[in-house]
């Protein structure tokens, strides 16, 4: 019995030891898990403040994005918009949209959207009759006895529609009868030295020793690789946008007298002409224009000069002008009050002379035409006669003076255009009126619509009535009034472009389906660029602008005496070679 009891005790002890061993094993297994949790807690504690801030920011962004989505959904429900389709789980179905589809939608909107038409200019106060005077449309024209002869009606083109198709009409034009030769009037001070017809300036006489025989200077070979003949009819068709022309036509507002003299000296253009001839300036102008490849000469009536307050500065150009360059005083002009307006010596339209026009009518070659001008200096005359600073003050304080000056200048220019349209060889009217600077218009667009644009509208409508296109030269940034010029004034062509304002290639893309663009090879570029760069620029411009017509090659403004002659001739030569 004792042995049995001893065995039982031993078994119990073994069982107890086994239980203790399993408990120890369990605690040994749990210890590493506790250590792991302790380590992760330490890591969390060791996180930097920046990391915690980043986490907070990310969380805030997620929350704000969810709030925005919720807001959009609520606004769509309020405005009655159609809710997006949802799946079975309640999530919105995302539609797949490609960039091509978005572009197509935008293009469709642009096509269907109505084109904004320019607002008609306000009725100008200076257009209304003063003290019982009749309206402009009812006024009788100034009588010109030498041209007041009726003739049978002739069919001519009155206007060009927006699609570029001519609208034929029958217009009665008086026949031209040349007047008896009259003595040349005494020279008057020219109010606009840079816009005067440069052909009337005789070349500087060469200094020849007394008693020595006159010798002609050695002529240089022609600077042009291809010869061209003028074609006035094709030139006007190009301006009217009647299809791509067979060759490039050239156009310039004017060439400075110094440039013309240099060309004559180099190439002997006028060596065969007699300087003692009464009409030597006109013959000289024809010779120069034909040599350079132009299809026209610019000419207008004389004897309408207006005295201005001019300032003179030294001319630093290579072909410097004797006596310096003249500029209008922009501070104060000869007219600042109504009293000064009444005392001003206004030119009389009845006394204008047309001897040069009459000579061109009889003697201009058949393949050339006359471009009538330059006229329509409405904005320029306001700033020249009043001074730019005085004009700006008057527009705020005394608009009556501005109205009076604008009306008087229109009376003069209206009679000039009427006289020009009586000459059959005049095939276009060229208005010249700088209205802007580099970033905008010189005065507000509304003031231009009131005091300037109505004058151009009258000249353009009169030109169209007699079958002539109306060209406009105007410097400056005119973006705010371009639609007015095209839709209301109805200009046929725009001249003067500057790269810092608008490249003529961009203007062609923007306005080329409505008007012609003239010139555009930047003057500053011509002054600085090498010949190869000039030729490359000409090719690029012609490649963009020639299609469909409505472009003539030329400088962005005029051929000033500081433009290198070789660069100017390179531009013309590259134009002759284009497409051949």
Any idea what the CATH number is for the domain that residue 386 is in?
Answer: 3.20.20.210
Longest Cα–Cα distance in the chain = 176
Asked if residue 49 is part of any domain, the answer here is no
- Assign 271 a pLDDT band (cuts: 50, 70, 90): very high
Residue ranges of E strands in 25-87: none
Q: What is the pLDDT of residue 37?
A: 59
- Assign 99 a pLDDT band (cuts: 50, 70, 90): low
Query: In b/e form, how buried is each residue of 216-230, taking b as 16+ CB within 10 angstroms?
Result: eeeeeeebbeeebeb
Q: Would the pLDDT of 434 be above 90?
A: yes
Q: Is there a contact between 240 and 165 (Cβ–Cβ < 8 Å)?
A: no
Asked if residue 414 is part of any domain, the answer here is yes
Asked if residue 14 is part of any domain, the answer here is no
Q: Is there a contact between 460 and 477 (Cβ–Cβ < 8 Å)?
A: no
Q: Would the pLDDT of 411 be above 80?
A: yes
How far is Cα 298 from Cα 356, in angstroms, rounded to an integer?
Answer: 11
- Assign 28 a pLDDT band (cuts: 50, 70, 90): low
Mean pLDDT, rounded, for 468-472: 97
What pTM was estimated for this model as a whole? 0.67
Q: Which two tokens stand for residue 44?
A: 């969390």
- Assign 109 a pLDDT band (cuts: 50, 70, 90): low
Q: What is the pLDDT of residue 43?
A: 63
In degrees rounded to 5, what are phi and psi of residue 531?
A: -60, -40
Mean pLDDT, rounded, for 199-209: 38
How far is Cα 567 from Cα 529, in angstroms, rounded to an integer?
Answer: 8
How many domains would you assign to the chain? Answer: 1
Half-sphere exposure (CA, 13 Å, Cβ side) for 104? Answer: 5
- Assign 6 a pLDDT band (cuts: 50, 70, 90): confident
How far is Cα 267 from Cα 257, in angstroms, rounded to an integer?
Answer: 16
Contacts of 55 (CB under 8 A, 6+ apart): none
Q: Is there a contact between 233 and 295 (Cβ–Cβ < 8 Å)?
A: no
Position of tokens 């606004």?
Answer: 75
Asked if residue 367 is part of any domain, the answer here is yes
Q: What is the pLDDT of residue 141?
A: 41
Q: What is the pLDDT of residue 477?
A: 95
- Enumerate the β-bridge partners of residue 171: 154
Q: Would the pLDDT of 386 be above 50?
A: yes
Q: What is the pLDDT of residue 234?
A: 96
Q: Is there a contact between 353 and 301 (Cβ–Cβ < 8 Å)?
A: yes
Asked if residue 38 is part of any domain, the answer here is no
Q: What is the pLDDT of residue 65?
A: 77
In degrees rounded to 5, what are phi and psi of residue 428?
A: -155, 155
Asked if residue 557 is part of any domain, the answer here is yes
How far is Cα 288 from Cα 292, in angstroms, rounded to an integer?
Answer: 6
Asked if residue 82 is part of any domain, the answer here is no
3-state SS, residue 498: coil
How far is Cα 536 from Cα 552, in angstroms, rounded to an integer?
Answer: 17
Mean pLDDT of the chain: 79
Which is nearest to 563 in space by CA: 522, 518, 502? 522
- Residue 374 preceded by cis peptide, ω within 30: yes
Which is nearest to 430 in space by CA: 236, 153, 178? 236
How far is Cα 537 from Cα 75, in angstroms, rounded to an integer?
Answer: 55
- Assign 387 a pLDDT band (cuts: 50, 70, 90): very high
Q: What is the pLDDT of residue 146?
A: 39
Cβ neighbours of 244 (radius 10 Å): 13
Question: Which carries the bigger pLDDT value, residue 32 or residue 232?
Answer: 232
- End-to-end, the C-alpha distance of the chain in Å comes to 138
Asked if residue 35 is part of any domain, the answer here is no
- Assign 489 a pLDDT band (cuts: 50, 70, 90): very high
Domain extent for 473: 125-205+238-577
Which is nearest to 520 in space by CA: 250, 283, 156? 250
Report the length, in residues, of the chain: 580
Which is nearest to 369 in space by CA: 491, 459, 242, 236? 236
| Cα distances (angstroms) measured from residue 524 to each of 499, 534, 537 | 9, 11, 13
Q: Angle of helix 399-420 relative to helix 388-397, nearest 10 degrees?
A: 120
Q: Would the pLDDT of 284 be above 70?
A: yes
């Amino acid at each position: 019995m004792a042995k049995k009891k001893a065995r039982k005790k031993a078994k119990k002890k073994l069982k107890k030891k086994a239980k203790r061993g399993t408990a120890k094993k369990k605690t040994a297994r749990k210890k590493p898990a506790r250590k792991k949790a302790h380590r992760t807690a330490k890591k969390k504690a060791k996180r930097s403040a920046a990391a915690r801030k980043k986490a907070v920011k990310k969380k805030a962004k997620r929350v704000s994005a969810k709030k925005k989505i919720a807001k959009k959904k609520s606004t769509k429900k309020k405005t009655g918009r159609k809710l997006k389709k949802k799946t079975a789980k309640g999530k919105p179905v995302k539609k797949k949209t490609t960039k091509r589809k978005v572009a197509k939608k935008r293009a469709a909107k642009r096509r269907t959207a109505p084109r904004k038409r320019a607002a008609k200019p306000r009725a100008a106060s200076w257009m209304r009759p003063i003290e019982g005077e009749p309206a402009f449309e009812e006024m009788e024209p100034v009588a010109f006895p030498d041209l007041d002869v009726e003739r049978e009606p002739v069919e001519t083109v009155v206007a060009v529609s927006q699609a570029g198709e001519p609208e034929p009409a029958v217009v009665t034009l008086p026949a031209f009868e040349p007047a008896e030769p009259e003595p040349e009037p005494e020279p008057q001070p020219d109010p606009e030295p840079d816009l005067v017809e440069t052909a009337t300036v005789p070349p500087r006489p060469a200094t020849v020793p007394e008693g020595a025989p006159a010798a002609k200077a050695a002529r240089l070979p022609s600077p042009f690789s291809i010869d061209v003949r003028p074609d006035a009819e094709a030139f006007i068709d190009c301006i009217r946008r009647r299809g791509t022309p067979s060759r490039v036509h050239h156009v310039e507002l004017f060439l400075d007298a110094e440039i013309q003299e240099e060309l004559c000296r180099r190439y002997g253009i006028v060596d065969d002409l007699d300087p003692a001839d009464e009409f030597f300036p006109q013959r000289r102008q024809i010779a120069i224009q034909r040599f350079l490849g132009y299809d026209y000469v610019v000419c207008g009536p004389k004897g309408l000069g207006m005295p201005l307050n001019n300032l003179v500065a030294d001319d630093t150009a290579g072909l410097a002008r004797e006596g310096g360059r003249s500029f209008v005083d922009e501070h104060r002009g000869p007219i600042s009050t109504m009293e000064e307006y009444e005392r001003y010596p206004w030119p009389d339209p009845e006394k204008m002379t047309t001897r040069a026009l009459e000579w061109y009518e009889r003697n201009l070659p058949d393949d050339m035409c006359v471009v009538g001008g330059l006229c329509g200096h409405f904005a320029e005359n306001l700033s020249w006669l009043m001074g730019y600073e005085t004009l700006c003050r008057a527009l705020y304080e005394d608009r009556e003076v501005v109205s009076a000056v604008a009306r008087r200048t229109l009376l003069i220019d209206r009679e000039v255009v009427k006289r020009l349209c009586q000459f059959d060889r005049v095939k276009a009217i060229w208005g010249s009126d700088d209205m802007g600077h580099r970033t905008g218009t010189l005065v507000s667009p509304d003031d231009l619509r009131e005091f300037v644009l109505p004058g151009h509208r009258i000249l353009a409508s009169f030109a169209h009535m007699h079958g002539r296109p109306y060209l406009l030269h105007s410097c400056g940034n005119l973006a705010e009034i371009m639609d007015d010029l095209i839709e209301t004034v109805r200009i046929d062509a725009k001249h003067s472009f500057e790269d810092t304002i608008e490249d003529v290639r961009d203007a062609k893309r923007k306005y080329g389906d409505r008007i012609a663009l003239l010139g555009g090879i930047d003057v500053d570029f011509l002054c600085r660029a090498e010949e190869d760069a000039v030729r490359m620029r000409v090719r690029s411009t012609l490649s963009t602008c020639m299609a469909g017509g409505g472009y003539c090659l030329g400088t962005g403004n005029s051929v000033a005496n500081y433009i290198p002659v070789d660069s100017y001739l390179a531009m013309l030569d590259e134009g002759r070679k284009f497409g051949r």
